[in-house]
Amino acid sequence: MARIHVLSEHVANKIAAGEVVERPASVVKELLENSLDAGATRIRVNVEAGGKKLIQVIDNGCGMVNDDALLAFERHATSKLKNADDLLSISTLGFRGEALPSIASVSRLRLETRAAEEASGTIVEIAGGKILSVEEAGLPNGTSITIRDLFFNTPARKKFLKAETTELGHIASLVTHYALAHPDKHWELHTTTNAMLVAAPVPSSAERIYQVFGKETLDQLLPIAATIRLERIGLPKPPPWAKPDPDAGVPEPGEIRVHGFVSKPEIQKLNRNSIFIFVNGRLIRDRLILHALTEAYRNILPPTVFPVVLLFLEMPFTEVDVNVHPSKTEVRFRQQSALHDFVRDSVRAVLMQARPAPQFVREIHAEPTAGQALSPRLNSAGAPGQAAAVVADPFALEAPELPPLPGSLAFGSEPIEVEGNAAIGAAHLKAQTFGSHVEVAPLEGADAFVPEREESCGPRIDEPDQPMDLTELTGLTPLGQVRESFILAVNPQGLWIVDQHACHERILFERILKQRQEAVVESQRLLMPIIVDLTPTQLAVFAEINDELRKNGFDAEPFGSRTIAVKTAPAGVDAGRVDRMLHELLEQFEREEQSLNLEKVRARIAASIACHAAIKINMPLAQNKMEWLLRELSQTQYPMTCPHGRPVVLRYSVKDIQRAFKRI
């Protein structure tokens, strides 16, 4: 039975209109979404030349009957929407009925489809929007759409396409993330030479992450799962003309569920490309959620870097308006602030609970070129069979296979490099990248790093690696300082290196916040008032936060038109630093685009006082002072990073040491 119909003009006019075909990845996105809407459980994508030459999406979904196969190319022809009311609760990824005609108008398209209930299938060929042929044919159940020569008839748009590797990178990222959102389905992505992704169905997102990115990535992520009941307020009312349904009863407010993964604080990305947010299975970009994430990582990550996030939000369809933007990547939430706070608090709670310590061997180097994150691990070139074998047993104990060919990861934009400590087999750690496949150039003598157990001279020690947890920070014995800046300490878990400044900063930061809460911040009266010159903008910011500054131990009064006189400063801050500190603080707020909230103001002020009052580097410390610092640190709520997000401690676990000495 035919399912597709052309929407009435009335409904069509209510749909956010616009061009959806921007680049190969947008074609792939529309086709994937159609396959998912068609209930497919297997989706295979083939591309050539970054999608410029060929894009093919093959699914085993419901297929289309003969009449529908032609109707699908009419504007506003869809099987997913009937009337304007349906727009209020869209449960499918598509609903506009525009993707296929748009794509067909700028490419050579071949559709092969058969609905399960029909004996034969249909093949339609279209070029530049003109139907060339329609044939009946014996076909497998499902749909295959092949797009050749995208933009062949619109050279202007073709010119805007980027290099093949860039376009391929976008496609790979897209397919990968849809694969992550639907672990229960079988996904494949192939180029002419590579099986880039072959992922058999698995029961959980964690297993899918393992399949796609490997253990390394999974270890750097923290799972998140939380639910909140929606308040009744704000629920959309049925339209006045709708007949009330006597059996319906009071509408259930439903709930919002969030699950997915957020990265540990030691993972730092230079842009937001590694943040993926899905709402009801749809990949979206959303400022509100991004803001909630930034808030969650406040004082855990430095403000200029970003985490890796895979967030799946599930909510009643009536809670989210997806008819906002033609490419359906922007949405509007009905209960914005409730959702914002829910996401922020859930992520924050996971981060606080995990308290993971950065590993000694994983210092992150922020590279300005860091780009596409979470790009899929490439399976070995041209060997799909082998690739399938690799994924068949995703929980094999070995780390996922390394590709035999160095440089086969051709996405151009590399994620941040993770560099190894010299003691830990440089060849092994040399080029580990987060979220992409590990590329290891076969270095000369690299085998030397593989422990040969049988021949090792000492007894083998085989203990499981201790999980990273900063409760281990208790009982540290300081040994001394490196360059009068970093405290070396030991405990049974291993060797620790503590940044003395960052450590003291963290201690003071938490203490100041606590004192502020109890309204007992310590301050000192300055011998002479300090005169600070401010710009007009700084003066405005000062006026805005002065009340809070006073509660934090600053007492300043206007002194002339552009000057303030500071009479009292927070305890521990040298009189000589007051000027600089105030300037830094005011400048920070000046740069802020978002409006200030009290919590943020307090945290900034506390971080600034802590920074200026803390012990500096290049400062010798007596044994008892080091002991005090370590003890106090172990009692902080969040000891792994300073308020600016830099790591406070690095750990070299016993296992790392044993490994380096080839005892395991």
Map the footprint of Mg ion across residues 16-55, applying CB under 5 A.
34
CB of 102 to ligand ADP, least distance (A): 8
Number of H helices, E strands in the chain: 18, 27
Closest to ligand ADP by CB, 2 vs 349, is 2
The answer to whether 619 and 486 have CB atoms below 8 angstroms apart is no
Closest to Mg ion by CB, 94 vs 553, is 94
Contact stretch for Mg ion (CB under 5 A) within 98-106, 222-230, 526-534, 559-567: 98-106
Closest to ligand ADP by CB, 95 vs 210, is 95
Closest to ligand ADP by CB, 59 vs 439, is 59
Distance CA 528, CA 550 (A): 18
Distance CA 603, CA 516 (A): 10
Closest to ligand ADP by CB, 82 vs 365, is 82
CB of 333 to ligand ADP, least distance (A): 22
Q: Which strands make up the sheet holding 121-127, listed edge to edge?
A: 130-137, 121-127, 108-114, 142-148, 54-59, 42-48, 186-190, 195-199
Distance CA 56, CA 323 (A): 27
Q: What is the 3-state secondary structure of 455-476?
A: HCCCCCCCCCCCCCCHHHHCCC
Contact stretch for Mg ion (CB under 5 A) within 86-94, 192-200, 255-263, 348-356: 86-94
Among all residues, whose Cβ is closest to ligand ADP?
94
Closest to ligand ADP by CB, 96 vs 662, is 96
Closest to Mg ion by CB, 38 vs 378, is 38
80 binds, among Mg ion, ligand ADP, none (CB under 5 to 8 A by kind): ligand ADP
CB of 125 to ligand ADP, least distance (A): 16
Integer-rounded Cα radius of gyration of the chain: 29
Distance CA 626, CA 529 (A): 34
CB of 65 to ligand ADP, least distance (A): 10
CB of 535 to ligand ADP, least distance (A): 53
Q: Counting beta carbons within 10 angstroms of the beta carbon of residue 293, is it exposed (0 to 12), middle (13 to 18) or buried (19 or more)? A: buried
User: Strand ranges (DSSP E) for 107-265?
Assistant: 108-114, 121-127, 130-137, 142-148, 186-190, 195-199, 221-229, 255-263
Contact stretch for Mg ion (CB under 5 A) within 90-98, 119-127, 178-186, 377-385: 90-98
CB of 334 to ligand ADP, least distance (A): 22
Closest to ligand ADP by CB, 98 vs 321, is 98
CB of 346 to Mg ion, least distance (A): 31
Map the footprint of Mg ion across residues 282-301, applying CB under 5 A.
none
Nearest to 479 by CA among 491, 487, 469: 487
Distance CA 136, CA 124 (A): 9
Closest to ligand ADP by CB, 100 vs 347, is 100
CB of 81 to Mg ion, least distance (A): 11
Q: What is the number of other CB atoms lying within 10 angstroms of the CB of residue 286?
A: 19
Distance CA 652, CA 493 (A): 9
411 binds, among Mg ion, ligand ADP, none (CB under 5 to 8 A by kind): none
Per the structure block, which two tokens stand in for 646? 């830099």
CB of 160 to Mg ion, least distance (A): 23
CB of 150 to ligand ADP, least distance (A): 16
Contact stretch for Mg ion (CB under 5 A) within 94-102, 342-350, 565-573, 618-626: 94-102
Distance CA 383, CA 195 (A): 7
Distance CA 455, CA 435 (A): 35
CB of 22 to ligand ADP, least distance (A): 15
Closest to ligand ADP by CB, 100 vs 573, is 100
Closest to ligand ADP by CB, 323 vs 466, is 323
CB of 273 to ligand ADP, least distance (A): 26
The answer to whether 532 and 560 have CB atoms below 8 angstroms apart is no
98 binds, among Mg ion, ligand ADP, none (CB under 5 to 8 A by kind): ligand ADP
Closest to ligand ADP by CB, 102 vs 359, is 102
78 binds, among ligand ADP, Mg ion, none (CB under 5 to 8 A by kind): ligand ADP
59 binds, among Mg ion, ligand ADP, none (CB under 5 to 8 A by kind): ligand ADP
The answer to whether 652 and 360 have CB atoms below 8 angstroms apart is yes
Distance CA 484, CA 640 (A): 21
* Angle of CA points 23, 24, 28, to nearest 5°: 125
The position carrying tokens 């003969």 is 66
143 binds, among Mg ion, ligand ADP, none (CB under 5 to 8 A by kind): ligand ADP
Does 92 engage in binding with Mg ion (CB under 5 A)? no
429 binds, among Mg ion, ligand ADP, none (CB under 5 to 8 A by kind): none
Distance CA 264, CA 640 (A): 10
Using alpha carbons, list the distances in angstroms from residue 653 to 361, 396, 468, 490. 10, 24, 9, 10
Contact stretch for Mg ion (CB under 5 A) within 95-103, 113-121, 308-316, 415-423: 95-103
Q: Counting beta carbons within 10 angstroms of the beta carbon of residue 186, is it exposed (0 to 12), middle (13 to 18) or buried (19 or more)? A: middle
Closest to ligand ADP by CB, 28 vs 378, is 28
62 binds, among Mg ion, ligand ADP, none (CB under 5 to 8 A by kind): ligand ADP
Nearest to 511 by CA among 649, 634, 632, 355: 632
Give the one residue of 94, 260, 435, 645 binding Mg ion; rule: CB under 5 A: 94
Give the one residue of 54, 99, 296, 374 binding Mg ion; rule: CB under 5 A: 99
35 binds, among Mg ion, ligand ADP, none (CB under 5 to 8 A by kind): ligand ADP
Among all residues, whose Cβ is closest to Mg ion?
94
Does 351 engage in binding with Mg ion (CB under 5 A)? no
Please count the residues of this chain forming the interface with Mg ion, following the rule CB under 5 A.
3
Distance CA 656, CA 469 (A): 15
Amino acid found at 592: E
Closest to ligand ADP by CB, 80 vs 208, is 80
391 in helix, strand or coil?
A: helix
Binding site for ligand ADP (CB under 6 A): 3-4, 30, 34-35, 38, 59, 61-64, 72, 77-80, 94-100, 143
**Exposure string for 424-439, b = 16+ CB within 10 A, e = fewer:** bbebbbbbbbbbbbbb
Closest to Mg ion by CB, 94 vs 265, is 94
- Give the footprint of Mg ion on this chain (CB under 5 A): 34, 94, 99
